[in-house]
Amino acid sequence: MEAVAAAAEAREQLRESFASGRTRPAAWRAAQLRGLLRMAADMEAEICAALRADLAKPRTESYVHEISLVTSSCKFALKNLKKWMKPNKVPAGLLTFPSAARIAAEPLGVVLVISAWNYPFLLAVDPVIGAIAAGNAVVLKPSEVAPATSALLADLLPRYVDGSCVRVVEGGIPETTALLEQKWDKIFYTGNGKVGRIVMSFAAKHLTPVVLELGGKCPVVVDSNVDLQVAAKRIAAGKWGCNSGQACISPDYIVTTKCFAPKLLDALKRVLDKFYGKEPLRSPDLSRIVNSNHFNRLQALMDEETVSDKIVFGGESDEQQLKIAPTLLLDVPLDSTIMKEEIFGPLLPIITVDKIHESFGVINSMSKPLAAYLFSNDSRLKQQFEMNVSAGGMIFNDIGIHLTNPHLPFGGVGESGMGAYHGTFSFDAFTHMKAVLDRSFLGEAKARYPPYTPAKLKIL
Ligand code: NAD
């Protein structure tokens, strides 16, 4: 009951603030974005410490993958804010002559952002940047699974942005459920598809639009026509160098040919030795698994009867430290749990096929991923991959870096989500594009009014 009352109070207070018009001027929006920029700069050490407490995230990863992305998002929004807010004049059309037509960017109102634990600073603040740039009031619900970052956000945000329009509500399922029971003008949710369905069912009650940033099994197809050393480094950095594989766009499995698999395996093993040494569990550059539930889930994926003898590298784990070594598995059965569920951890199965084109069938037998990757120098194969594989985003010859380009939408398709954000798309996600037609009293056409006579019909 307390959670419900707190959620209702937050919602009501923000509704009043939004109704006062406070969030609409460009000056208010810019001041909040500058506040977030200052927060990221002043509090870098505290943010890194929280991420270390939650995930043992190495400082370089915390800075490059979270803090600097928040900073560049703020800067991009600040640079483009006035352009985004400006009404977009469009042709008026003969039928409405004389008139002027425009598309006005209208804030949606009071929005709810629910974020996930794996990039707990970035995934919380980045959507808030979009919501503020678009002139909304916003409630942020950080993930309770990353409690240090959640507490830090609750402490910091009111110190750097207008607390009458931006609120942080901490908590787990009861608090999130209480928030979801309220009426919002948009819900932006990042997390797994099971909870995505719960979010959608709450949203349906109020016809609230949603953005769902979900996950899935992101495939990496590796052709033989590649620079193998570069490919192996980029795959390893995109998997283990991103939160130990606990990333939504992390490689989930590799598909390559039977002939090429031994070479690829060797290259990956060499790179992993170089990155994390002979005792990877002791490496300070490898994040830990977020909690014992996820640790046990990942351990169970490796221990499954048909899978455990497919481990060809790694496999060690340390329950005390919640660390699992980078692990490669070769040709696990496609019906094993590790190939049925999103792995979201440091295990990487390699599936082999006779011909590289057969990879399309493997990918398309699963639900649509958030990202799909192909390593190849063959332009025809790239073209065919783009044509045949549906995914939220796609990269040739690298992993994950599409999310750093603010001109590209970031979001899923099918079970990997709906809607998108980043750059202009963040502004659009929290904006209603209102059609405005300004008509003159001139231009009367008698034919449009009753009585409808045959003569009038002829004119029309
Ligand atoms: P999580 O456990 O942090 O949950 C996300 C949010 O949902 C949290 O704020 C949590 O409080 C809330 N929640 C959990 N259970 C709920 C319930 N029953 N009712 C209402 N709210 C509830 O994160 P997670 O789901 O474990 O995140 C991992 C998943 O998120 C993976 O599938 C990953 O691929 C996906 N993900 C997607 C993106 C993206 O940008 N598309 C980014 C990160 C993670």
Band of residue 13 on the pLDDT scale cut at 50, 70, 90 = very high
| Tens-place pLDDT, residues 266-275 | 999 999 999 9
Classify 369 as helix, strand or coil. coil
Instruction: From the CA of 144, give the closest atom in ligand 1.
Output: 11
Residue 385, both tokens: 């991959």
**Distance between terminal CA atoms of the chain?**
62
pLDDT digits (tens, 9 = 90+) for 440-459: 999 998 889 999 999 988 87
Which tokens sit at 150? 């959640």
Q: In this predicted structure, what is the pLDDT of residue 33?
A: 98
Nearest Cα neighbor of 216 from 363, 325, 74 is 363
Q: What is the largest CA-CA distance in the chain?
A: 90
Q: Which atom of ligand 1 is nearest to the CA of 115?
A: 9
| Residues lining ligand 1, Cβ inside 6 A | 114-118, 123, 141, 143-145, 172-173, 176-177, 190-192, 195, 198, 213-215, 248, 342, 344, 370, 412, 417
What are the tokens at 213?
């940033």
Write the pLDDT tens digit of every residue in 34-50.
999 999 999 999 999 99
In this predicted structure, what is the pLDDT of residue 176? 98
Residue nearest to atom 42 of ligand 1 (CA): 248
Cα(98) to ligand 1 centroid in Å equals 51
Name 253's Cβ contacts closer than 8 Å, sequence gap at least 6: 217, 219, 220, 339, 343, 348, 349, 350, 351
User: CB under 8 Å to 327, separation ≥6 — which residues?
Assistant: 302, 311, 313, 314, 315, 346, 347, 348
- Dist. CA 370 → ligand 1 center (Å): 14
Strand residue runs (E) in 258-398: 311-313, 317-318, 323-324, 327-330, 347-353, 371-375, 393-396
- The residue contributing the CA closest to ligand 1 atom 27 is 191
Q: Mean pLDDT, to the nearest integer, of 184-193?
A: 98
ipTM of the complex: 0.98
Distance between CA atoms of 304 and 59, rounded to whole angstroms? 34
Beta bridge partner(s), residue 112: 139, 187
The pLDDT score that the predictor gives to residue 459 is 77
pLDDT for residue 201:
98
Give 61-71 pLDDT, tens digit per residue. Answer: 999 999 999 99
Helices (H), 193-227: 193-205
> What is the structure's pLDDT at 1?
59
Ligand 1, atom 13: closest residue by C-alpha: 173
* C-beta separation of 251 from 350 below 8 A: no
User: What does the pLDDT read at residue 49?
Assistant: 98
Residue at token pair 């600040």: 78
Cα dihedral 233, 234, 235, 238 sign: positive
User: What is the distance in A from the centroid of ligand 1 to the CA of 117?
Assistant: 7
List active site positions. Answer: 213, 248
Ligand 1: which residue has its CA nearest to atom 10?
A: 143
Distance 339 CA to ligand 1 centre (A): 20
Tokens (6 digits) for 140 = 């942020």
CA distance 110 to 131: 9
Question: Distance, CA 120 to ligand 1 centroid (Å)?
Answer: 10
308: tokens are: 């455990």
Give the Cα separation of 381 and 355 in Å (integer): 12
Percent of the chain with pLDDT over 90: 96
Predicted confidence band at 2 (pLDDT cuts at 50, 70, 90)?
confident
Which ligand 1 atom is at minimum distance from the Cα of 120?
3
Q: Calculate mean pLDDT across residues 14-33.
A: 98
Q: Which alpha helices (DSSP H) does 356-442 contain, by range? A: 358-364, 379-388, 424-429
pLDDT tens string 243-256: 999 999 999 999 99
DSSP assigned state of 277: -
Closest ligand 1 atom to 370 CA: 41
DSSP state of 421: B
Residue 87 has pLDDT above 90, yes or no: yes
User: CA-CA distances (angstroms) from residue 58 to 130, 250, 283, 288, 354?
Assistant: 27, 17, 10, 10, 39
At residue 290, the pLDDT reads 98
Paired with 330 in beta bridges are 350
Q: Which of 95, 5, 342, 371 is nearest to 221 (CA)?
A: 371
